[in-house]
């Protein structure tokens, strides 16, 4: 999966002859009238014949006298952004498309959008069509684009893979493949060993599945560099456990390892860019299932940190497994801990499907992440770690309850639960995200999606790549 080819949607200028090139003419809506005035009668008639009305994310194929495509008129917003070309690769005919040189400065952004729009999950079905190819004017920036595409394709592929083919073992193989590719160390703790090595919460949540729970652990980079630890929720399928989900609620739950996919995608970006970071990635990988060995509502469980947790709801499993991973991450006092998790439906009610809810105990970090998220067209939105709401996750018989029992502030109480397992002196950021496009948008096909990933990477790049 790590070596999935993303190159076919790009070709270098030197590899094709000029008569194969189709020019993309990016026309901003506010400049359309002026552009029309410069067109010959043939072209104007063609636009009328096609009833073309300029709008963002539209295009019109413009023929030459031989009836071949000479150029493509692409309707664009006044501010060109990442998505401006992303509708093209799967909609214009297969061929080689070129940007005119006045857009070369924005090449990286536009090419990334092109690559994201070219994605297809084709593991179980032949793709409906091949993606069109963008001509690369500048080989150097291709490396950055490829690195981002490789990471985002990995995230999407991991999430899109059905749970039958992406259990804890397969998620482990994917993590191992990534580690191997970048000569990182990989270790894992499997099944009963989680008990003897003191990861009781990961074990108990995963115990109900025939597919054993695991804790995946990747280490990479120079010991002398600042340590950053990534944690990802790796629930390969969330049935809800004994507090079983409805069929509609369960249908998408192959995506409940989306946090783990994000942690691996970010690790791929960091390692590929060779950032001067001592990286650690911790992924509790489990299946929240139902069987004679499943954990029960009302149980009280031990956690690695020593805090006891009453299980108010077996469907609030993500915070339970993350508690052990965050406690382990904290023992090494890294400079920063970032976790990604498809943690609550409540976060989706608050910020919708596209915007990850961000929580942090370190405001400077949250502010910087927000700034990058706006610049990168990858918005995240901060929500408060409102301490008085800790009342809501108190238990009468244990240190904490994994469920608040109220319908309010579900994303905040989940984040406060996680905060209890992070050493308070360590800057920590938590992303509660959807990791899935329910509806198709330009460059964002239906299915698994990286959200907030580019923003976090740019933040790390600015902070550490001095």
Q: Does 135 bind Zn ion (CB under 5 A)?
A: no
For residue 340, the tally of other CB atoms under 10 A from its CB is 33
Given 157, 317, 378, 449, the residue binding ligand BES (CB under 6 A):
317
Given 161, 172, 268, 342, the residue binding ligand BES (CB under 6 A):
342
For residue 65, the tally of other CB atoms under 10 A from its CB is 7
Q: Considering beta carbons, is residue 229 or 314 the nearer one to Zn ion?
A: 314
Is residue 311 within 8 Å of residue 244, measured between CB atoms? no
Q: Does 214 bind ligand BES (CB under 6 A)?
A: no
The owner of tokens 């008085």 is: 388
User: From the CB of 353, what's the least distance to ligand BES, in Å?
Assistant: 8
User: From the CB of 304, what's the least distance to ligand BES, in Å?
Assistant: 20
Q: How far is the C-alpha of 256 from the C-alpha of 341, rounded, in Å?
A: 8
Q: Please measure the distance between the N-terminal and C-terminal CA atoms of the chain and give it in whole angstroms.
A: 31
Find the angle CA(328)-CA(329)-CA(332) to the nearest 5 degrees. 95
Q: Which long-range contacts (CB under 8 A, 24 or more apart) does 385-393 make?
A: 385/359, 385/360, 385/361, 385/412, 385/415, 385/416, 385/419, 386/412, 386/416, 387/416, 389/413, 389/416, 390/416, 393/417
The owner of tokens 């740019």 is: 458
User: From the CB of 249, what's the least distance to Zn ion, in Å?
Assistant: 9
Which region, judged by CB under 6 A, interacts with ligand BES, from 132-140, 153-161, 315-323, 375-383? 315-323
Q: Considering beta carbons, is residue 270 or 311 the nearer one to ligand BES?
A: 311
Q: Considering beta carbons, is residue 56 or 345 the nearer one to ligand BES?
A: 345
Q: How far is the C-alpha of 12 from the C-alpha of 1, rounded, in Å?
A: 24
**Cα 243 → chain centroid:** 28
User: From the CB of 455, what's the least distance to Zn ion, in Å?
Assistant: 23
Given 150, 268, 303, 344, the residue binding ligand BES (CB under 6 A):
344
Both tokens assigned to 238: 């969330």
| Nearest partner of 191 among 175, 168, 218, judged by Cα | 168
Phi (first) and psi of residue 188, to 5 degrees: -150, 155
Site string for ligand BES, 397-416 (x = CB under 6 A): ------x------x------
Which region, judged by CB under 6 A, interacts with ligand BES, from 168-176, 310-318, 392-400, 420-428? 310-318
Given 170, 287, 310, 315, the residue binding Zn ion (CB under 5 A):
315
The owner of tokens 């490789």 is: 150
Given 157, 170, 217, 238, the residue binding ligand BES (CB under 6 A):
238
Phi (first) and psi of residue 88, to 5 degrees: -80, -50
- Indicate the pairing of strand 185-190 with strand 214-220: antiparallel
Q: Can you list the positions of beta strands (E) in 43-164?
A: 58-63, 69-76, 96-99, 133-136
For residue 139, the tally of other CB atoms under 10 A from its CB is 11
Q: Write the DSSP symbol of residue 199.
A: -
Q: Considering beta carbons, is residue 272 or 432 the nearer one to ligand BES?
A: 432
Q: How far is the C-alpha of 429 from the C-alpha of 412, rounded, in Å?
A: 13
Q: Does 346 bind ligand BES (CB under 6 A)?
A: yes
Given 157, 217, 243, 256, the residue binding Zn ion (CB under 5 A):
256
Both tokens assigned to 447: 């299915």
Given 235, 260, 294, 460, the residue binding Zn ion (CB under 5 A):
235
Q: Does 433 bind Zn ion (CB under 5 A)?
A: no
Is residue 426 within 8 Å of residue 280, measured between CB atoms? no
Q: Does 395 bind ligand BES (CB under 6 A)?
A: no
Active site residue 305: no
Q: Considering beta carbons, is residue 226 or 345 the nearer one to Zn ion?
A: 345
Q: Does 209 bind ligand BES (CB under 6 A)?
A: no
Rg (CA), the chain: 24
Active site residue 245: yes
Site string for Zn ion, 317-356 (x = CB under 5 A): xx--------------------------------------
With CB under 5 to 8 Å by kind, the binding choice for 211 among ligand BES, Zn ion, none is none
User: From the CB of 92, what's the least distance to ligand BES, in Å?
Assistant: 34
Q: Does 243 bind Zn ion (CB under 5 A)?
A: no
**Which parts of 424-463 interact with ligand BES (CB under 6 A)?**
434
Selecting among 21, 197, 219, 245, the annotated active-site residue is: 245
Which region, judged by CB under 5 A, interacts with Zn ion, from 55-63, 222-230, 312-320, 437-445? 312-320
Site string for ligand BES, 247-286 (x = CB under 6 A): ---------x------------------------------
Both tokens assigned to 141: 């920036």
With CB under 5 to 8 Å by kind, the binding choice for 320 among Zn ion, ligand BES, none is none
Q: Where are the alpha helices (DSSP H) in 51-138?
A: 107-117
Selecting among 71, 109, 319, 444, the annotated active-site residue is: 319
Q: Active-site residues: which are they?
A: 245, 319
Residues in contact with ligand BES by the rule CB under 6 A: 238, 256, 313, 315-318, 342-346, 348, 403, 410, 434
């Amino acid at each position: 999966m790590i070596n999935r080819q993303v190159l076919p949607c790009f070709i270098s200028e030197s590899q094709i002859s000029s008569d194969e090139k189709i020019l993309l003419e990016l026309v901003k809506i506010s400049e359309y009238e002026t552009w029309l005035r410069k067109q010959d009668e043939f072209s104007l008639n063609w636009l009328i014949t096609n009833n073309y009305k300029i709008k963002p994310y539209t295009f019109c194929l413009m023929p030459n006298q031989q009836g071949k495509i000479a150029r493509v008129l692409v309707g664009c917003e006044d501010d060109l952004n990442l998505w401006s070309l992303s509708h093209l690769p799967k909609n214009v005919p297969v061929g080689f498309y070129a940007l005119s040189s006045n857009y070369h400065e924005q090449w990286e952004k536009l090419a990334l959008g092109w690559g994201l729009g070219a994605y297809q999950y084709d593991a179980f079905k032949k793709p409906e069509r091949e993606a069109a190819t963008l001509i690369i004017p500048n080989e150097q920036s291709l490396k950055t684009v490829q690195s981002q595409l490789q990471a985002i394709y990995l995230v999407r592929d991991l999430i899109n893979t059905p749970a039958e083919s992406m259990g804890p073992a397969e998620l482990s193989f994917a993590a191992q493949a990534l580690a191997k590719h970048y000569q990182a160390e990989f270790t894992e703790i499997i099944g009963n060993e989680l008990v003897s090595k003191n990861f009781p919460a990961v074990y108990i949540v995963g115990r109900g599945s025939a597919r054993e729970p695991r804790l995946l652990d990747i280490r990479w980079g120079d010991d002398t560099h600042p340590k950053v630890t990534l944690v990802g929720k790796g629930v390969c399928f969330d049935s809800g456990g004994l507090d079983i989900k409805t069929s509609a609620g369960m249908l998408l739950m192959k995506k409940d390892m989306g946090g783990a996919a994000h942690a691996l995608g970010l690790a791929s970006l960091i390692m590929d860019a060779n950032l001067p970071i001592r990286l650690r990635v911790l992924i509790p990988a489990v299946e929240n299932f139902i069987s004679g060995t499943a954990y029960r509502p009302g149980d009280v469980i031990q956690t690695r940190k020593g805090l006891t947790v009453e299980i108010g709801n077996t469907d609030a499993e993500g915070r339970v497994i993350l508690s052990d991973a965050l406690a382990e991450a904290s023992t090494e006092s890294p400079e920063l801990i970032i976790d990604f998790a498809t943690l609550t439906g409540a976060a989706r009610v608050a910020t919708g499907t596209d915007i990850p809810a961000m929580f942090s105990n370190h405001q400077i970090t949250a502010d910087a992440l927000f700034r990058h998220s706006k610049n990168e067209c990858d918005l995240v939105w901060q929500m408060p770690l409102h301490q008085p709401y800790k009342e809501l996750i108190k238990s009468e018989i244990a240190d904490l309850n994994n469920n608040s029992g109220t319908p309010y502030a579900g994303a905040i109480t989940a984040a406060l639960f996680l905060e209890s397992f992070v050493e308070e002196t360590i800057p920590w950021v938590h992303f509660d995200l959807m990791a899935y496009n329910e509806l198709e948008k330009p460059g964002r096909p239906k299915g698994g999606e990286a959200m907030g990933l580019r923003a976090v990477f740019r933040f790390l790049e600015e902070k550490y790549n001095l």
